[in-house]
């Protein structure tokens, strides 16, 4: 999908709202998307008339206002990172962000307009909007340049991103593509690739035909087949694992965990570009190929961490 954000000079004004300082609409399609500063008595009916159906509140777990006729899509108290830095609990904050961005993108894809707000409309709001633009298919540089130009138009300095944390979150949501050797099976990942590791188990060795497989986790909602899914074959490598491969060329693309359908294991070697993560451990080293010596300093686990025989 190609995304065309509204250029800062064309930012649409909505009567009753101070545009673009307190309200800025960045997308028309697939549905309107806008950022705003904290809504003090906003004209919700006018916002609804401008094509918006949902509110994402980033300041409170329960919004201290009634946005009807709009509905609250998500409300979560994110840390205000004004002045830079990163949250005290980065994992929790990143998981909250993932939920909000996924919900926002799903809403936009279903044709419903979304307004996102925090206090000033720049930091937390900008992070959600930038991640949503990336998840919809914009390249990282395009997103960052666009956000900087919008915030310059809003009179915000020093522009955007305000922190490395924001920039890294955008990278999480940049769409990564991948596929098999013959090119018939293709997939897209529109969310963070996480928990990357080298797996030395005998199944991964056989499936990859190499010393180990480089695997990482992706949330199932962030993963989709975009071509050739009818060519996929599955092999039950164990009771709860399905190795999915291209029936034409044999590339081993993903592993499905029957006991964890919310997660897809992607083989990093089938991602086209940089996956944005680096493997940080070796697992099942007791099964490793005798001809292969691990020479890095990453932690090694005999089997899978948490599944050691007692
Ligand atoms: Zn293939
Ligand atoms: Zn394995």
Q: What is the pLDDT of residues 193-210, one digit of tens each?
A: 999 999 999 999 999 999
Least confident range of 14-28, 127-141, 255-269: 14-28
Distance 232 CA to ligand 1 centre (A): 9
Ligand approaching nearest to the C-alpha of 208: 2
pLDDT at 144: 95
- Of 276 and 78, the one with more pLDDT: 78
At residue 1, does pLDDT exceed 60?
no
User: Could you report the per-residue pLDDT of 2-19, keeping only the tens digit for each?
Assistant: 788 998 888 877 777 888
pLDDT at 262: 95
- Of 276 and 304, the one with more pLDDT: 304
Distance 165 CA to ligand 2 centre (A): 32
User: Could you report the per-residue pLDDT of 296-309, keeping only the tens digit for each?
Assistant: 999 999 999 888 77
- Predicted confidence band of residue 158 (pLDDT cuts 50, 70, 90): confident
Distance 260 CA to ligand 2 centre (A): 16
Ligand approaching nearest to the C-alpha of 267: 2
Count Cα neighbours of 213 within 13 Å in the Cβ-side half-sphere: 23
Ligand approaching nearest to the C-alpha of 214: 2
Distance 284 CA to ligand 2 centre (A): 7
User: Could you report the per-residue pLDDT of 225-272, keeping only the tens digit for each?
Assistant: 999 999 999 999 999 999 999 999 999 999 999 999 999 999 999 999
User: Could you report the per-residue pLDDT of 46-92, keeping only the tens digit for each?
Assistant: 899 999 999 999 999 999 999 999 999 999 999 887 766 788 888 89
């Amino acid at each position: 999908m190609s995304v065309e954000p509204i250029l800062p000079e064309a930012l649409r004004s909505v009567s009753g709202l101070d545009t673009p300082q307190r309200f800025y609409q960045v997308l028309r399609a697939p549905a309107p998307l806008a950022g705003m500063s904290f809504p003090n008595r906003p004209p919700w009916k006018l916002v609804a008339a401008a094509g918006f159906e949902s509110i994402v509140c980033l300041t409170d777990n329960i919004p201290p206002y009634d946005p009807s006729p709009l509905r609250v899509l998500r409300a979560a108290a994110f840390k205000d990172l004004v002045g830079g830095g990163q949250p005290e609990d980065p994992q929790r904050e990143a998981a909250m962000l993932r939920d909000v961005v996924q919900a926002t993108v799903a809403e936009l894809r279903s044709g419903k307009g979304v307004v996102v707000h925090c206090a000033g409309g720049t930091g937390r709001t900008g992070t959600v909007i930038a991640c949503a633009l990336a998840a919809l298919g914009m390249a990282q540089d395009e997103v960052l340049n666009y956000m900087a130009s919008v915030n310059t138009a809003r009179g915000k300095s020093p522009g955007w991103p305000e922190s490395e944390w924001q920039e890294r979150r955008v990278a999480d949501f940049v769409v990564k593509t991948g596929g098999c050797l013959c090119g018939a099976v293709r997939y897209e990942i529109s969310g963070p690739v996480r928990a990357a590791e080298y797996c030395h188990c005998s199944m991964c060795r056989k499936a990859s035909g190499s010393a180990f497989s480089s695997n990482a986790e992706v949330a199932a909602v962030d993963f989709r087949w975009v071509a050739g899914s009818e060519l996929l074959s599955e092999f039950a490598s164990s009771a709860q694992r399905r190795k999915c491969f291209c029936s034409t060329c044999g590339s081993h693309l993903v592993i499905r965990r029957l006991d964890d359908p919310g997660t897809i294991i992607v083989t990093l070697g089938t991602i086209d570009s940089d996956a944005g993560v680096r493997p940080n451990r070796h697992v099942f080293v007791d099964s490793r190929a005798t001809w292969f010596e691990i020479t890095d300093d990453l932690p090694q686990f005999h089997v899978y961490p948490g599944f050691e025989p007692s």
